[in-house]
């Protein structure tokens, strides 16, 4: 038989309010430390741990790191003992969140508490890779200084330097090369180099599925500091020059052609090097002219025709000019015939 004291304790336990995860995450997101402290003390420490999952399995620490609230991050870790290595359903840890969003104070706090610098999230992305995708040099430097390895590769075979080449920030590329001189020696699983990546951008009819970013200054860094062959081919036979033409980057295409020409001056093939490079074909026998027409890049079409590239059928018998209906591009072919 229950005694009165037992009944009173049971009643008191029953009056303990249930935590509201949405409210807790909203307080963290809004950076309201005092209100969060009051709420956690009201509902008990259980709500600060694994018993209060958020979207995608996030903890309150993930939320604090994502939104850059270092004071809340420290409060949750120190007052409630939350695990800074907790993973959500994508295996992201708070350090991934802070690095991805460029919150340097949160990154430095987590690293100072011993967070694993090369932890992997889904698809094998490290915090350094995520920082490179955001073009935040200071965060990149902090991670590297705490031992982050720029040579680690994700599931697609990309390392941090490859990702930085996609974003096209010359200063970040120079820094990564200074701390890891061999970082440029990398290819993705489909044999695309950082030079391919830096030289193209999102466009219709891309041969590869990724949306990349053309950046002339980044290409200059890669050609000056690294030892790429300008006509290196990916698994589909595409060169960086063909990528640049396909995506309408005439200045990058000119730079690559000039580099190719200079690179062969000491051989007997010098006289033919420029024409041979321009006439490169992919596995479907498409030339750079096919790619320029498919991308509807009139300036590139005119440049190629003026450089001496002739239209020829691909494996299906399709001429490059058949891939466009734009009058100005068709006029480029007419002018070439007339001359």
CATH number of the domain residue 196 falls in: 1.25.40.20
In this structure, is residue 20 part of a structural domain? no
Cα separation, 125 vs 144, whole angstroms: 15
| DSSP states of 226-268 | S---TT---TTS--HHHHHHHTT-HHHHHHHHHHHHHHTTTST
CA distances from 322 to 318, 319, 332 (A): 7, 5, 13
pLDDT at 243: 79
In this structure, is residue 276 part of a structural domain? yes
The number of folded domains in the chain is 1
In this structure, is residue 166 part of a structural domain? no
CB neighbours (10 Å) of residue 81?
10
- φ, ψ of residue 325 to 5 degrees: the values are -120, 5
40: left (phi over 0), alpha (psi -120 to 50) or beta: alpha
CB neighbours (10 Å) of residue 239?
23
Residue 292: domain span? 191-339
In this structure, is residue 155 part of a structural domain? no
In this structure, is residue 240 part of a structural domain? yes
In this structure, is residue 315 part of a structural domain? yes
In this structure, is residue 242 part of a structural domain? yes
pLDDT at 261: 46
In this structure, is residue 65 part of a structural domain? no
> Locate tokens 């590869």: which residue?
208
Please give the structure tokens belonging to residue 162.
């490859």
pLDDT tens for each residue of the chain, 339 residues long:
555 555 554 444 444 455 578 889 999 999 999 999 999 888 776 555 545 667 789 999 999 999 999 999 999 999 999 999 999 999 999 999 999 999 999 999 999 999 999 999 999 999 999 999 998 999 999 999 999 999 999 999 999 999 999 999 999 999 999 999 999 999 999 999 999 888 765 433 333 323 334 588 888 899 889 988 767 888 888 888 887 877 778 778 777 776 654 433 332 233 233 333 567 787 788 888 888 888 788 887 888 888 788 899 999 999 999 999 899 999 999 888 766
């Amino acid at each position: 038989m229950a005694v009165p004291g037992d009944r009173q304790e049971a009643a008191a336990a029953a009056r303990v309010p249930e935590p509201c995860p949405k409210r807790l995450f909203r307080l963290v997101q809004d950076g309201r430390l005092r209100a969060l402290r009051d709420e956690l003390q009201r509902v008990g420490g259980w709500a600060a741990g694994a018993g209060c999952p958020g979207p995608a399995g996030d903890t309150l620490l993930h939320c604090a790191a994502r939104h850059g609230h270092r004071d809340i991050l420290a409060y949750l870790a120190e007052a409630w003992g939350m695990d800074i290595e907790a993973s959500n359903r994508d295996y992201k840890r708070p350090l991934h969140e802070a690095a991805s969003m460029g919150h340097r104070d949160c990154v430095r706090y987590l690293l100072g508490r011993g967070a694993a610098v090369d932890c992997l999230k889904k698809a094998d992305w490290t915090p350094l890779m995520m920082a490179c995708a955001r073009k935040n040099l200071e965060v990149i430097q902090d991670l590297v200084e705490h031992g982050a390895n720029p040579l680690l590769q994700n599931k697609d075979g990309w390392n941090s330097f490859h990702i930085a080449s996609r974003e096209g920030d010359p200063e970040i590329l120079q820094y990564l090369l200074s701390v890891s001189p061999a970082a440029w020696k990398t290819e993705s699983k489909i044999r695309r180099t950082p030079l391919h990546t830096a030289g193209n951008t999102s466009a219709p009819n891309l041969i590869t599925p990724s949306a990349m970013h053309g950046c002339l200054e980044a290409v200059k860094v890669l050609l000056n500091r690294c030892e790429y062959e300008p006509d290196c081919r990916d698994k589909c036979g595409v060169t960086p020059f063909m990528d640049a033409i396909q995506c309408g980057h005439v200045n990058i295409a000119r730079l690559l052609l000039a580099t190719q020409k200079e690179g062969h001056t000491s051989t007997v093939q010098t006289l033919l090097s420029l024409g041979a490079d321009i006439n490169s074909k992919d596995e479907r026998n498409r030339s750079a002219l096919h790619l320029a027409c498919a991308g509807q890049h009139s300036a590139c079409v005119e440049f190629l025709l003026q450089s001496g590239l002739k239209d020829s059928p691909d494996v299906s018998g399709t001429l490059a000019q058949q891939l466009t209906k734009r009058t100005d591009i068709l006029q480029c072919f007419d002018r070439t015939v007339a001359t």
